[in-house]
Amino acid sequence: MSLEILLAAIAVLLLSGVASLIVRRSPGAATFVAVSGALLACLMGLVAAVIVLSGGGYDYLEWAWSIPGGSFALGVDALSAVFLIILFFVSIPVCLFGVPYLRTYGSRQNLGAAWFFTCLLIASMAMVVLARNAVLFLVSWELMSVSSFFLVTFEKGKPEARSASLIYLVAAHIGAALLLVLFLLLGRDGSLDFDQFSVAGNAGLLFILCLLGFGSKAGFVPMHVWLPEAHPAAPSHISALMSGVMIKMGIYGIFRTITFLGNPQPWWGWLLLGIGVTSGTLGVLFALAQHDVKRLLAYHSVENIGIIAMGLGLGLLGLSYGSLPIAVLGFGGAIFHVVNHALFKGLLFLSAGAMAHTTGTREMDKLGGLLKRMPWTASLFLVGSVAICGLPPLNGFASEFLVYMAGLYGSTGTIGGTAVAGLVGMSSLALIGGLAIACFTKVFGVVFLGEPRSVNAGDVHDASPTMTVSMMILGAACLAVGLLAPFAVKALIPVIAIIAHTPLGIAREAVTRATAPLYTVTSVSLILVGVILAAVLLRSMLLRGRIVRTAGTWDCGYAAPSARMQYTAPSFVLPITGLFNRVLKTRRHRERPDGLFPTAAAIETHTPDIFQERLFRPILAGTERLLGVFRWLQHGNVHIYVLYILITLLVLMFWKMR
Amino acid sequence: MQEAVNAIVALMILANFLLLGTGSLRAAIRIVAIQGLALGLLPLLVHEKGLTLRLAIIAVLVILLKGIIIPRVLMKGLRELNTGRGITYYVGPVASLLIGILVMGSSLWWGYLLPLPDQPGYRLAIPMVFFTIISGLFLIVTRRQALMQIIGYLVLENGIYAFGVFFAQSESMLIEIGILLDVFVGVFIMGVMVFHISREFDSIEAGQLSTLKDWFRERRKSTETESPS
């Protein structure tokens, strides 16, 4: 039953997308048709997915399909359901937010196309999660990549949007090519249906292919280079959807493939843990050095994908060393962080979008003082920041806590391998958390506190109510999941059981025992929230009936401070970025002050992605040089091109018919 | 029946030789129209089960498209394009005919190696198919005008279609109609291209297209010097 509802939801999405394309001449109508259809579909899908997750049922459906190797096999189990829930839940505020966000483009851009691709993106992601046949999966995967590509090119007038979309397209297709190989190897026994895959002894190779193929979508270092390009280029609500949900499709692929591969080898876990540690630390370090809010958030996606990979790696290690508590905690942390990251990263991208929409810039050093001018956006951004830093009482803390617990179990246990892994995991998670806090202190301090640094940032107010409401939905979800974390984890037990190849009963017992400390932690969180509320109440009580005056901050006796005297973003984090300059390779262009009464001086910093600069650029340049050898073949003469075909044909004919 | 089929096969071979030898664009279009008409009759005669509705529809479509519509479009194009009526060559008609004889010889040999499995009567069929395909490609390569390349493409396609008639008798009608549509669209697009070539370069020599390459290279160079990165 639930599968039929999901299919209906996908149909509604596709229909409303096409309808919006048809009425594209009127931007208002196109928006209305697409958004109302998408909201309806998301609610339907959400209901169906919640039914599946709570009932733990498995629904399967197969239709014949006239494509070689393909069958229209769809299935929904708990693992699919979790991803469907985050997809449909995040899509609701995303679509709402898009309405006022895109309105300003209505006169210049084709909004019908933008909404069509948005609907197609949501529908194709749902299909990716439901597909139970390799051909159907790859087709949906490709649709997802292509529709998001068209959304990244939305502002095609801007050169950076064009180059970003090109990078994204290439990255997506390199990943898809590897997935093709993965599925061909898995389906060597003839059928490309998921339930008839055979591993046939080369599980290791398949695992590597799966990490490369799905990892390029998820954004593992060093395949992350498309994220900091594509996320800033896309419209903000699409960035929220891409970063919150679409990159998670890579994680879904890894989860799903693990269920095919049978018992894991220890090195799989080590590899994933290594990838997680590298992605996490490098992601947050590069985020620290960014000036553009959305680029910074994109690097934080790399960081959070790293945390998810660490949880996954610890889980695999626990499974291969035979320690069920570590396994369920690691997998639980990973899947829970998938959910949480979708919520808070969606929130952060939306509030960054609201900020950029009203001020017209994403450069942090042109903003400032927005807390007073956009109180709602600022406080919701604060909620997202606290969540992403993994601080209680919000949801990011709960899932990182599970990963910590996995590390703790490992390091206190008697198995040598997991002890080392646990220590590595915990220490790098602590480092990542600390750096993330520094990073978001920077963002919040520079953008929302202080005084406006440019004229634009001065005369603004909160974004439209629709935008605020859509952000509030996600903010409320972050808080709710954070406070109700033990129940959320309980709901995820069927998923953990699927990934850990464990019967549901045993998994339930292990998870309940292993996550018991979560209850204590959440109660403390509740007390914390209570204390904060009490303090606020006390303050207002104490202030009642008294005169409150506002005065300038103490300015060291200097009577005319200007906005330029505030800390800039790079100078605020310089103590930390300086420590890691060996990795970051920040470039500085300095004009030193000169003479006794210097007039002009300037400093500018720029931190390009080292992987793009040192790894991909040389590889691509080398490939171009290598292929340049064949350039003489491309002379532009049609006759000679056909001559190639003729000669090939004749050679083959004579060769085969000697 | 068999005699009629063999006569049509011979007609098609003859048409190929005429195309290789002719020096006039107008004649070339007429010959390819005749070849198309002959091709349209072929399925009606090959199938011994007699005339079915499916065969009739396909035959009518092929005759209409290849025998009448496309040649008319080409004639009209020839009138409207400001161009000479003579064909210009990379390889002249005499040499083309000699090469054609060589190819026909090889095709006979291939036909001997690859006989039709269930219709031993049509001994010239397979050689005709190979000869037609290769003549089509040869015309594309050695004739300079873009219009002759459309004709070459049509000849090539005629060969492929004839192969289908003799071999794949159980093809579904949808596929055959789909192929016809492809041919039509292909000719249509090529016609548009010819028109544009003639407008840009004041001639319909396809070799002129290679100047576009230099144009791209120039543009690339200029953008590279503009943005030193």
The owner of tokens 């997308």 is A17
Residue of B nearest to A653 (CA): B110
Burial of residue B189 (CB within 10 Å: 0-12, 13-18, 19+) is exposed
Global pTM reads: 0.81
**Contact between chains at B114 and A637 (C-beta distance less than 8 A):** no
Which residues on A lie below 8 Å from B140 (Cβ)?
638-639, 642
Residue B224 has what pLDDT?
Answer: 55
3-state secondary structure of A385: helix
Collect all residues of chain A within an 8 Å Cβ-Cβ radius of residue B207: 637-639
Q: Which residue of A has its CA nearest to B134?
A: A646
How far is B209 from chain A, CA to nearest CA, in Å? 6
The complex's ipTM works out to: 0.82
Q: Is the Cβ–Cβ distance between B29 and B73 less than 8 Å?
A: no
Find all residues with CB under 8 Å of A324, minimum gap 6, and list them.
Answer: A318, A500, A502, A506, A510
Give CB contacts under 8 A, 24+ apart, made by B55-62.
B57/B173, B58/B173, B58/B176, B58/B177, B58/B180, B61/B177, B61/B180, B62/B36, B62/B161, B62/B180
Distance CA A606, CA A589 (A): 8
- Residue A629's contacts (CB-CB under 8 Å, 6 or more residues apart) are none
* C-alpha B144, offset from chain centre: 15
Q: How far apart are the first and last CA of chain A?
A: 62
Does the beta carbon of A66 lie under 8 angstroms from any beta carbon of chain B? no
Nearest-CA residue of chain A relative to B109? A657
DSSP H or E stretch at residue A259? helix A247-261
The partner residues of B145 in beta bridges, in order of sequence, read: B205
Q: What's the rounded Cα separation, in Å, for the pair B116 and B6?
A: 14
As beta bridge partners, residue A602 has: A591
Q: What is the pLDDT of residue A286?
A: 93
Q: What integer pLDDT is reported at residue A117 of this predicted model? A: 96
Residue A35, C-beta contacts closer than 8 angstroms, at least 6 positions apart:
A95, A96, A98, A99, A115
Return the DSSP state at A76: E
| Separation in Å, CA of B215 to nearest CA in chain A | 11
Interface probe for B, chosen from A634, A642, A658 (most Cβ of B below 10 Å), is: A642
Q: In this complex, which of A637, A649, A654 lies closest to B210 when CB atoms are compared?
A: A637
* Helix residue ranges per DSSP H, A187-219: 203-218
Q: Do B213 and A636 touch (CB under 8 A)?
A: yes
DSSP string, B167-222: H-TT--HHHHHHHHHHHHHHHHHHHHHHHHHHHHHSS-BGGGGGHHHHHHHHHHHH
Domain ranges of chain A: 1-253, 263-539+568-592+601-608, 611-656
Residue A315 dihedral angles phi and psi, to the nearest 5°:
-60, -45
Residue of B nearest to A641 (CA): B141
> Which stretches of chain A score pLDDT less than 70?
56-57, 457-458
Task: Give buried/exposed letters for A470-482 (b at 16+ CB in 10 A, else e).
Answer: bbbbbbebbbebb
Compute the distance between CA of residue A578 and CA of residue A585 in angstroms, rounded to an integer.
10
Whether B213 and A635 lie within 8 Å, measured CB to CB: yes
Q: Cα-flanking dihedrals φ and ψ of residue A60, to 5°?
A: -140, 150
A–B: how many Cβ contacts below 8 A?
Answer: 46
Q: Do B210 and A635 touch (CB under 8 A)?
A: yes
Please, what sign has the CA dihedral across residues A365, A349, A171, A631?
A: negative
User: For residues A308 and A220, what is the distance between their CA atoms, to the nearest angstrom?
Assistant: 10
Q: Cβ atoms within 10 A of the Cβ of A299, count?
A: 25
Q: Say if the Cβ atoms of B209 and A636 lie within 8 Å.
A: yes
Task: Please report the pLDDT score of residue A332 as a whole number.
Answer: 94
Closest CA to A326 of A339, A341, A310, A342: A310
Which burial class, exposed, middle or buried, applies to A415 when counting CB atoms under 10 A from its CB (0-12, 13-18, 19+)? Answer: middle
pLDDT band at B183 (very low <50, low <70, confident <90, very high): confident
Which tokens sit at A441?
A: 């202190």
Residue B209 touches chain A, beta carbons under 8 Å: yes
Across the interface, of A637, A643, A653, the residue whose CB is closest to B207 is A637
What integer is the mean pLDDT of B65-88?
A: 82
Q: Which residue of A has its CA nearest to B138?
A: A646
Rounded to an integer, what distance in angstroms lies between the CA atom of residue A276 and that of residue B62? Answer: 62
| Residue B229 pLDDT exceeds 50 | no
Do the chains contact at B141 and A642, CB–CB below 8 Å?
yes
Please judge whether A642 and B134 are an interchain contact, meaning their C-beta atoms are less than 8 angstroms apart: no
Beta carbons of A649 and B134 less than 8 Å apart: yes
Cα A499 → chain centroid = 21
**What is the model's pLDDT at position B49?**
65
Which residues of chain B neighbour A654 with C-beta distances below 8 Å?
106
pLDDT at B119 exceeding the cut of 80: no
- Cross-chain Cβ contact A653/B130 below 8 Å: yes
Q: Which structure tokens are listed for A18? A: 């096409």
Q: Is B110 on the interface with A (CB under 8 A)?
A: yes
Could you tell me the pLDDT band of residue B50, with boundaries at 50, 70 and 90?
low
B211 and chain A in contact, CB less than 8 A: yes
Dist CA A319 CA A345 (whole Å): 30
B163 touches A at CB < 8 Å: no
What pLDDT score was predicted for residue B168? 62
Q: Any bridge partners for residue A195, and if so which?
A: none
Q: Contact at 8 Å (CB) between A19 and A34?
A: yes
The number of C-alpha atoms within 13 Å of A55 and in the hemisphere containing its C-beta is 13
Joined tokens for residue A243: 């970063």
